[in-house]
Amino acid sequence: MTTMISWTVANSRKLARSERKRRLGPLGILTHLALLIWTLLVMIPILWTFLASVKSEDEIFSDAWSLPAALRWDNFARAWDQVHIGQYMLNSIVVVAFSTFGTMLVGSMAAYVLARYPFKGNRAIYFLFVSGLAFPVYLALTPLFFVVQNMGNLPLIGPFIGLNTHAGLVLVYIAYSMPFTVFFLSAFFRTLPTAVGEAAMVDGASHTRVFFQIMLPMARPGIISITIFNILGQWNQYQLPLILLQDREKWVLTMGIADISTAAGYDQDWSAMFAALTLAILPMLIVYTVFQRQIQSGLTSGALK
Amino acid sequence: MLFNRYRRGLFITSFLAAPVILYLIYVIAPYLQAFYIALTDWRGVTATPRFIGLENFQRLFGDSKFWQAVTHNGALLVLLPLITIVIALFFAFLLNVGGPSGVSGIRGSKFYRVVFFFPQVLAVAVVAVLFQQVFRPDGSGMLNGPLMALGADPIGFLSDRGVAFWSVLAVMVWQAVGFYVVLFSAGLASIPKDMFEAAQIDGAGRLSLFFRITLPLLWDTVQVAWVYLGILALDVFAIVWVMTLQQGGPDSATTVMAAEIYRSAFGHFRFGYASAMGVVMFFFTVGFAILSLRLSRRERIEY
């Protein structure tokens, strides 16, 4: 009797499922087809660039889709030395290393105090930071150029933070990263429990120590997300270095890549150009493949808050 | 007790000092100065600015090139969010609810998400150079090569006045879609599966699943996406500056506000005039932000 009931139940489930399937239609193949088309749309331009980077100049200009007769790795050597991609990449790494570290340090300090310590003017400072989210940076470009120029005239530290200096660019990056960093992290600090920090205070820990040894480790998921967000944002920045760095040897990678094409003449070394483009894309592809989960959640977390 | 109060004050001050000072010097001060510079005739790096009131704005009203730029930003403001959100919603729905039973994700959905998202991590300047090559006007272009091999005339993706703007839009959509697929997928994942199952048992097909369940429950996320993409459309610079001919051409066919501001300030050194454009852009952006906050006040669906 029981076996019969369970048989009937199982059978009717199967029926219901196949009925549902019929109603939903044979979408399986079409679904994959649609997704496959976008996959190709994303990948083909990138793979095509990789292909062109090992072609000779003649092969690039003869037929867009021809395969190279020989793999010309010397294109990469020229991109690295003569197009100075190596130098630009090193500059980018130095600038972003310092600016992201600085952004996270002062950003988390400000966010923590604003989230956890009520005092007169707290809200005013918070809104001062957050209002920066709505300003278009293009309004500030001209005055910013002169602010940085004037900083260069300061005694002693001036030569290090004026125009054409990496330290100057680092400070600008930190300042322009504040709105989002403070906005996101103070929301994050507010969600953390207060009890642990209070207990440590009772035991005699200072405010500073509570922040660095208790609150910061507790805020790790938020810190990681925003660190990724800032690394990518600052690595990909083009507008700010464009006005602040004029000397070629100071340029960051985005400027180097953009310059190859905007300054393109007929004597352009096109195969080295494709190699340079590949050198800019490939490391991102590798880093992204390894950390794709963290990167996806880091970049989208801001929108979901 | 008093000592503790003092210690707390000292802590607050020391933690806020660096970020606030940096922010005041590099962000707030330039923005405030820009409003004043917009009222001067400041030209050239060394000249002394003279106050001329609203003259820059008067001239701006007759500047057809600037209004062309505004029109392009306006067109992007409508088209970029619309197209990106429709495509992203479609793919997010397929990835998460497109499985054979109608409630589960499809096979390989993680792979697709990883690939779709990748353009987002590339610098806009890099993407601009990449597509400049893709759009080459002769047989060496990725798109025109096959076209010409088939015997068709090459398309001037960047050189044809009627096509160039659409090329810019297409590249922006290409880069943005993956981000919103991931964003909408995260939103979809937080909707309980029972909702979809219950609806199906009640006889819902795929279309009504999408329009009656997915879309209403994702509405908050869609609005966030709309605001983000709108800001992106108003702020666009690098893709136009690096990819298009004559940095906004051909013949201003793709120029945008940011490009005109940059050209005016750092190409012609007309700082006053550039700041006036910046002020107009500021009001457009803030206006858009306020408008979208107003319109998006809608009851949240709790689930």
Count of domains forming chain A = 2
Does A299 reach chain B within 8 Å, measured CB to CB? yes
More confident residue, B19 or A11: B19
> Structure pTM?
0.88
Is A115 a member of any domain? yes
* B39 pLDDT more than 60: yes
> Are the beta carbons of A140 and B205 separated by less than 8 Å?
no
Is A65 a member of any domain? no
As a whole number, mean pLDDT of residues B274-294 equals 89
So what's the pLDDT on residue A265?
Answer: 54
As a whole number, mean pLDDT of residues B36-58 equals 81
* Full DSSP string of A270-304: HHHHHHHHHHHHHHHHHHHHHHHHHHHHHHHHHHH
Nearest to B237 among A52, A176, A239 (CB): A239
Residue in chain A closest to B8 (alpha carbons) equals: A207
* B156 pLDDT more than 90: no
Q: Which two tokens stand for residue B1?
A: 């007790």
Per cent of chain A over pLDDT 70 is 88
So what's the pLDDT on residue A305?
Answer: 47
More confident residue, B212 or A24: B212
Asked whether residue A198 falls in the same domain as residue A237, the answer is yes
Asked whether residue A94 falls in the same domain as residue A155, the answer is yes
Is A70 a member of any domain? no
Asked whether residue A201 falls in the same domain as residue A255, the answer is yes
Asked whether residue A228 falls in the same domain as residue A298, the answer is yes
Q: Which two tokens stand for residue B113?
A: 């998400």
Per cent of chain B over pLDDT 90 is 40
Distance (Å) from the alpha carbon of B294 to chain A's nearest alpha carbon: 15
* B193 pLDDT more than 80: no
A166-191 vs A85-116: helix crossing angle, rounded to 10: 40
> pLDDT tier at B150 (50, 70, 90 boundaries)?
confident
Name every chain B residue with its beta carbon within 8 A of the beta carbon of A182. 19
Surface of A (11-30) touching B: CB under 8 A: 16-17, 20-21, 23-25, 27-28
> Are the beta carbons of A206 and B11 separated by less than 8 Å?
yes
* B293 pLDDT more than 60: yes
DSSP conformation class of A247: S
Is A139 a member of any domain? yes
Torsion over CA: B292, B239, A46, B118 (sign): negative
In chain B, where the domains are located: 64-295
> Are the beta carbons of A139 and B34 separated by less than 8 Å?
yes
As a whole number, mean pLDDT of residues B228-252 equals 89
Asked whether residue A26 falls in the same domain as residue A161, the answer is no
Does A190 reach chain B within 8 Å, measured CB to CB? no
Q: Which two tokens stand for residue B84?
A: 């990106």
Asked whether residue A120 falls in the same domain as residue A265, the answer is yes
Is A69 a member of any domain? no
> Are the beta carbons of A17 and B114 separated by less than 8 Å?
no
Give the whole-angstrom CA distance, residue B175 versus residue B119. 5
Does A193 reach chain B within 8 Å, measured CB to CB? no
Does A144 reach chain B within 8 Å, measured CB to CB? yes
Q: Which residues of chain A have pLDDT under 50?
A: 1, 23, 305
| CATH value at residue A83 | 1.10.3720.10
So what's the pLDDT on residue A268?
Answer: 73
Half-sphere exposure of B139 (CA within 13 A, CB side): 12
Q: Which two tokens stand for residue B260?
A: 């005109």
A269 close to A82: Cβ distance less than 8 angstroms: yes
Q: How far is CA A102 from the centre of its chain?
A: 16
> pLDDT tier at B86 (50, 70, 90 boundaries)?
very high
Cα first-last separation, chain B: 47
Single out the residue of A277, A110, A247, A252 nearest to residue A173, CA to CA.
A252
Q: Which two tokens stand for residue B161?
A: 């006045």
Distance (Å) from the alpha carbon of B283 to chain A's nearest alpha carbon: 9
Is A62 a member of any domain? no
**Residue-number span of the structural domain to which A47 is assigned:** 2-52
Q: In terms of DSSP H, where are the helices of B52-98?
A: 55-61, 64-97
* CATH tag for B64-295 (out of 3.40.640.10, 3.30.830.10, 3.30.70.1400, 1.10.3720.10): 1.10.3720.10
Is the predicted ipTM greater than 0.95, yes or no?
no
Is A67 a member of any domain? no
Is A132 a member of any domain? yes
B98 close to A31: Cβ distance less than 8 angstroms: yes
The residues facing B270 across adjacent strands are B43
**CB-neighbour burial class of residue B57 (10 A; exposed 0-12, middle 13-18, buried 19+):** middle
Distance (Å) from the alpha carbon of B121 to chain A's nearest alpha carbon: 7
* B196 pLDDT more than 90: no
A256: region left, alpha or beta (phi > 0 left; psi from -120 to 50 alpha): alpha
